[in-house]
Structure 1
């Protein structure tokens, strides 16, 4: 029985995990008797746990009777890598949010759509009110314009054929030719084009298979002090770029 304050441990789960670890130490597979001997688990219990693990896909039994790691473990490993990558990215965004006192966004252009993958904000620096879907407002946001700058002219034209630019504020740019043929900038600005009173800066993130951007939003009256925001934003985008180059593509899902 567990003492007060101590977790209640399930012995059968612990034994199953020991067996998984033992199998993982033998790439060529391991027999039930060898596993029982290495883990100290009784042979009848070892057989029972191995059958369960095989049934659930965490182990696979080969024709010669040896056990190897199953597909379910590979799936967990891939998920763990994606979660670790997401955690590292959010750490960068969290530091930037604290340093700049601004809401931070990570977005990508995936299968013809603008997708905001991560948002980090705070009570002092809340995220912008998304009253208009970002997918339909790429022309009016620094996020969208930065992502579209990573596409070819034909791809930008296709986007605006599907999402004709609409006036969201008096400052929204809606002339398609300007949006398609505008020069590529190292940093993209949106000054009250999406929401009155709000400005946004976006910098490209490289290393992913599709266009990715890191962006910040803040009160429009602070836009005159762009240099205060620009250098830390570019540095954070570069850090995420290095992370993606080493760890892989941007995690899917929100």
Structure 2
């Protein structure tokens, strides 16, 4: 019993605090000093210094030349593997969405300012969207990206856009931050985003954000504009919303 208590009070608590620091670093969107981490975490400075030193040694945190700290490269493999496993778990629900809509269903998450597609079930039609699992795109020019951004505070969206820029994928891509933010308010109000050939000409996409997930994510249905008409959007959007709600609930229950 004494060993178990020592393990609970020492090892587990230290592990919890280490992950809290990693999450605080992630929340900064870039880097933070020890004093900033102390202010946001409420942990004593000696504790933070000890934990950060260990995380740096393991490669999960790095110290920049300005002596501030940021997430380390060793987390990339963990995050990517977790995302792909999430995609595998969600695939049966995406398959049901394809059966109901006849179009390609996708699941994407926000990683390091980019949207990465982690799962896809293709349409049975010969003409379909050719986004593939593992593809990374900037969020301002995609349906899933806009759905995800619609759930973030405006200041966080502006900071992200400052870091990534807003290159035009097509003539329909949003390239002005103010116009995009106004559009995102509409997306949040209606509960889904529509990509009107903003990523790829001739392709329309309906995307719905997941809620309560550890990482920002969205599910979408995409297809040629000639088949996925504006009239079809009103019919298909509720189906995508239902799938997003089911995925969100399952994730909340397993958390």
Partner of 1:234: 241
In structure 2, relative to structure 1, the CA distance for the partners of 1:86 and 1:196 (3 Å cut) is closer
Structure 1 residue 210: deviation in Å?
A: 2.2
In structure 1, distance between residues paired with 2:239 and 2:126:
16
Larger Rg: 1
Describe the SS at the equivalent of 2:172: coil
Q: Contact conserved, 2:113 with 2:138, CA < 8 A, in 1?
A: no
Describe the SS at the equivalent of 1:118: strand
- Pair 1:205-2:210 in alignment: yes
Partner of 2:18: none
- Pair 1:196-2:197 in alignment: no
CA deviation digits over 1:9-48, x for unaligned, max 9? xxxxxxxxxxxxxxxxxxxxxxxxxxxxxxxxxxxxxxxx
Structure 1 residue 134: deviation in Å?
A: 6.3
Partner of 1:176: 177
Structure 1 residue 140: deviation in Å?
A: 1.6
Structure 2: gaps of 5 or more residues: 1-80
Partner of 1:140: 141
Q: Contact conserved, 1:191 with 1:198, CA < 8 A, in 2?
A: yes
Describe the SS at the equivalent of 2:229: helix
With the length of structure 2 as denominator, give the TM-score of the two structures. 0.58
In structure 2, relative to structure 1, the CA distance for the partners of 1:86 and 1:140 (3 Å cut) is closer
Structure 1 residue 162: deviation in Å?
A: 1.9
In structure 2, distance between residues paired with 1:141 and 1:112:
13
In structure 2, relative to structure 1, the CA distance for the partners of 1:86 and 1:200 (3 Å cut) is closer
Provide the aligned length of Structure 1 versus Structure 2. Answer: 166
Structure 1 residue 194: deviation in Å?
A: 1.0
In structure 2, distance between residues paired with 1:216 and 1:166:
23
Greater per-residue helix proportion: 2
In structure 2, relative to structure 1, the CA distance for the partners of 1:127 and 1:108 (3 Å cut) is farther
CA deviation digits over 1:136-187, x for unaligned, max 9? 4321211111111122212211211122112222222211111234312411
In structure 2, distance between residues paired with 1:158 and 1:127:
34
CA root-mean-square deviation:
2.6
In structure 1, distance between residues paired with 2:168 and 2:153:
24
- Pair 1:246-2:253 in alignment: yes
Q: Contact conserved, 2:117 with 2:136, CA < 8 A, in 1?
A: no
